[in-house]
Amino acid sequence: MDIKKVVIPVAGWGTRSLPATKNIPKEMLPIYKKPIVQYIVEEAMQAGLKDVVFITNQNKRIIEDHFDRNFLLEQLLTRGGKLDLLEEVKRVADMVNVVSVRQKVQLGLGHAVLCASEVCKNEPFAVMLGDDLMFGLNSGISQLIEAAKAENKAVVGVIEVPRDKVSKYGVIAGEEFAKGMYRVSKLVEKPKVEDAPSNLAIIGRYVLLPEIFDILDGQKAGVGGEIQLTDALQGLADRDKLIAVKLQGQRFDAGDWVEYLTANIYFALHDEELRDDLVKRLQELLSCSD
């Protein structure tokens, strides 16, 4: 199985992150020194994916611009002798090939993926959500690509979540056939706690087969009135073509403020130049009563 393309849906309105996202795409909010979407693209690159298909809307053009050259800025940095920064901004532009497809109406994640059908029609492809961050020794998506190649099946990334949090996620039922790998039999989007088939929650990493497009094409709206990718994946599970892999590493949902802020601190604590000063300031904040 050869996987070259990654679909990154970024067409959502980011309502949980308002008012910050009134005019700035959620995916362009910075975490430490980089916009969220750059971390996602870098994870894809580490896994050897070079072709990025952004599913966008009319307010998301700056995401494409971020991965393009900016000659005025490059001239300014050259004139100012800021060569390290010059290299960095050029590196971001040269990182990947970008294709953009507009999702004209935000009908849900399943519909966003369906928008990639013309670009990915005959090949398996990766999907990474534009607001879901994974860090660790192995890039999150590379763990799924490895499993997809070994099993010749579609794959969803899952993590264990506390039982009382399952209703925020799509949840799977499956039989563990190797350590951390499950044959998926059932998927439920945002179940009530009592209806959840397990505490294995789907997060924003997938490897999909092109037959998902036919399934999505006939998919009716599900929870929240949205066309849900989770519901369409049941079609692959019914044909025994879907496995789940428990992902290793740190995961942050950048659409949630606590997670977003924690991700910022996580990176700053990994920067030797910042670490000591940051810890000192955090301790001061925790001990003061204002």
Q: Rounded to whole angstroms, how far apart are CA atoms 1 and 270?
A: 36
Q: Extract long-range pairs of 188-192: CB within 8 Å, 24+ residues apart.
A: 188/230, 189/222, 189/223, 189/228, 189/230, 189/231, 190/223, 190/224, 191/166, 191/167, 192/167
Residues 6+ apart with CB under 8 A from 116: 7, 53, 55, 101, 125
Nearer to ligand UTP, 198 or 230 (CB): 230
CB 18 → ligand UTP: shortest distance, Å? 8
222 binds ligand UTP (CB under 6 A): no
Nearer to ligand UTP, 14 or 170 (CB): 14
Interface residue with ligand UTP, options 31, 101, 103, 126 (CB under 6 A): 103
Binding mask 38-57 for ligand UTP (x = CB under 6 A): -----------------x--
CB 39 → ligand UTP: shortest distance, Å? 13
Which of 225, 179, 228, 171 is closest to 203 using CA atoms? Answer: 171
Instruction: Classify the phi-psi angles of 152: left when phi > 0, otherwise alpha if psi is within -120 to 50, otherwise beta.
Output: left
Which of 215, 214, 173 is closest to 191 using CA atoms? Answer: 173
CB 81 → ligand UTP: shortest distance, Å? 38
Nearer to ligand UTP, 11 or 52 (CB): 11
# residues contacting ligand UTP (CB under 6 A):
22
Which of 146, 141, 170, 149 is closest to 251 using CA atoms? Answer: 141
Supply φ then ψ for residue 69, to 5 degrees: -75, 150
Supply φ then ψ for residue 79, to 5 degrees: -60, -35
Site for ligand UTP in 124-163 (CB under 6 A): 129-131
12 binds ligand UTP (CB under 6 A): yes
Which of 171, 96, 125, 131 is closest to 10 using CA atoms? Answer: 131
CB 139 → ligand UTP: shortest distance, Å? 18
Nearer to ligand UTP, 112 or 243 (CB): 112
6 binds ligand UTP (CB under 6 A): no
Q: Rounded to whole angstroms, how far apart are CA atoms 75 and 90?
A: 11
Nearer to ligand UTP, 12 or 151 (CB): 12
Nearer to ligand UTP, 66 or 111 (CB): 111
Nearer to ligand UTP, 43 or 131 (CB): 131
Q: Rounded to whole angstroms, how far apart are CA atoms 48 and 72?
A: 30
Site for ligand UTP in 16-35 (CB under 6 A): 16-17, 26
Mark the segment that binds ligand UTP (CB under 6 A) among 32-40, 75-83, 107-115, 182-190.
107-115
Q: Rounded to whole angstroms, how far apart are CA atoms 230 and 208?
A: 12
CB 103 → ligand UTP: shortest distance, Å? 5
Binding site for ligand UTP (CB under 6 A): 9-17, 26, 55, 103, 106-109, 111-112, 129-131, 255
